[in-house]
Amino acid sequence: MRILVVGAGGVGTAAVAIAARRDFFDHLVVADYDPVRVEHALAQVAGDARFSGARVDASNVNALVALIREQGITHVLNAVDPRFVMPIFDACGIAGVSYMDMAMSLSHPHPERPYEETGEKLGDRQFAKAGEWEAAGRLALVGLGVEPGLSDIFARYAQDELFGEIHEAGVRDGANLVVDGYEFAPSFSIWTTIEECLNPPVIWEEGRGWYTTAPFSEPEVFDFPEGIGPVECVNVEHEEVLLIPRWVKARRVTFKYGLGDEFINVLKVLHTLGLDRTDPVAVRGAAVSPRDVVAACLPDPAGLGDRMHDKTCAGTWVTGRGKDGAPRAVYLYHVVDSDWSWKEYGSQAVVWQTAINPVIGLELLAHGTWSGTGVLGPEAFEPKPFLDMLQEYGAPWGMREESAPVL
């Protein structure tokens, strides 16, 4: 297996550090538009001949195809923000190699009823080409980060091992992370955060299908494990709601994110001022995207590791009837302590927790444990080998029994 990681930001750099401790691949090329970022990613694996770097523009399909062929790549991991999903996805299709990402193609709200009906959904452009990928015998494994990714695998595991009937598969994400010296410092790409938080959230219900609601709707307090505690969570647009119903039978699928009032207020102000816009505006003769300006003004999440403390939790809350027919509810989760991930890998918790999952997925593909063709989400694969390997990588997951629902 020869891997190309496109993107040497926080997640791409963490993926390199995680992969360096494994032996399932022959070579890994990390590529980015910025050579300095590539050098930084490779510095942590200096002396390991299995790694090399390259420069590439992730928006240029021809350049990506040329790099894939030049390096003899077999598998591409997309580690850049969702704007570049389709160029990388299409380049892999042209070059005839396997593709993997952690976020899917962008959505576009319904033009007249954005908070009631879906427009173009996350991943629609990729799923529209599923037949081509299947006919070619190639695999595009989409949405394999932590959320989406591990959370989807938890949903499939719940169906296979724990439940006879699932009423709700609800992804719940929360943290008690603090960043020294900053009043506002997102732990993940602010570009992606704005996209998913200000777009209309999607909900799936049996008999109704996918529909939308207003941003930050249906607040609830969820008690997160391992000392994180209660966090208010709200509806946010996310890929799990578009992926889980395709392979897991559930009456309802939701995604709620623990943002906090301060974070939500900042996002609302950015939206009010138009600073969440991606289309360029003229500024003293130059055309600039307001959202890119916001991102440039904030600290790089990849550089917050030594200032970030406490924990982040990703998980899936599942309710319904157990295999015995009795009411049951569980929370399947994964917690990472940022002080640990920084000391052990030199990465802050959120990017490390995201990066470990595609690396495990690549290893399962390399061993032939996972295989398939077409455009497939994580739920399409057997979950237990993945969860077993997560333990093997030193990143254990947990399960908490919840109060059984009244049915």
CA 276/CA 397 separation, integer angstroms: 35
Task: Grade residue 296 by pLDDT with cuts at 50, 70 and 90.
Answer: confident
Q: Contact 188/173 with Cβ under 8 angstroms?
A: no
Rounded distance between C-alpha atoms, residue 12 and residue 355, angstroms: 7
- Number of residues written out for the chain: 407
Mean pLDDT of 131-152: 97
User: What pLDDT is attached to residue 302?
Assistant: 67
pLDDT-based confidence at 289, cuts 50/70/90?
A: confident
* pLDDT tens digits for range 248-265: 999 999 999 997 777 778
Q: CB count, 10 Å around CB of 65?
A: 18
Share of the chain above pLDDT 90, in %: 79
Residue 227: DSSP 8-state: T
What pLDDT does residue 276 have? 82
Asked if 3 and 75 count as a contact pair (C-beta separation under 8 A), the reply is yes
Residue 305 has pLDDT above 70, yes or no: no
Angstrom distance (rounded) from CA 13 to CA 302: 9
pLDDT at 403 over 90: no
Tokens of 98: 């396997």
pTM > 0.75: yes
Q: Are 15 and 5 in contact (CB under 8 A)?
A: yes
For 13-49, give one letter per residue: b (16+ CB within 10 A) or e. bbbbbbbbeeeebebbbbbbbeeebbebbbebbeeee
The pLDDT, as a whole number, for residue 188 is 64
Residue 74 has pLDDT above 80, yes or no: yes
Given a contact cutoff of 8 angstroms between Cβ atoms, the answer to whether 291 and 276 are in contact is: yes
pLDDT at 173 exceeding the cut of 90? yes
Q: What is the pLDDT of residues 362-395, one digit of tens each?
A: 999 999 999 999 999 999 999 999 999 999 999 9
Q: What is the dihedral of CA 370, 352, 149, 107, to 10 degrees?
A: -130
**pLDDT at residue 245, as a whole number:** 98
pLDDT class for 141, splitting at 50, 70, 90? very high
Closest residue by Cα to residue 186 from 323, 294, 102: 294
Q: Report whether pLDDT(298) > 80.
A: no
Q: Which residues contact 125 (CB under 8 A, 6 or more apart)?
A: 86, 105
Find where tokens 């979950």 sit.
383
183-228 pLDDT per residue, tens: 776 666 777 778 777 889 999 999 999 999 998 899 999 999 999 9
* pLDDT at residue 270, rounded to an integer: 84
pLDDT value at position 185?
Answer: 66
Phi/psi of residue 96, each to 5°? 75, 40
Write down the pLDDT at residue 352: 95
DSSP per residue, 260-325 = -HHHHHHHHHHHHTTTT--S-EEETTEEE-HHHHHHHHSPPGGG-TTTEESEEEEEEEEEEEETTS
Report how far apart, in Å, the C-alpha atoms of 105 and of each of 34, 78, 80, 90, 204 are: 23, 12, 12, 11, 19
- Specify the pLDDT at position 278: 81
Instruction: Name the CA dihedral angle for 351, 357, 358, 359, rounded to a multiple of 10 degrees.
Output: 100
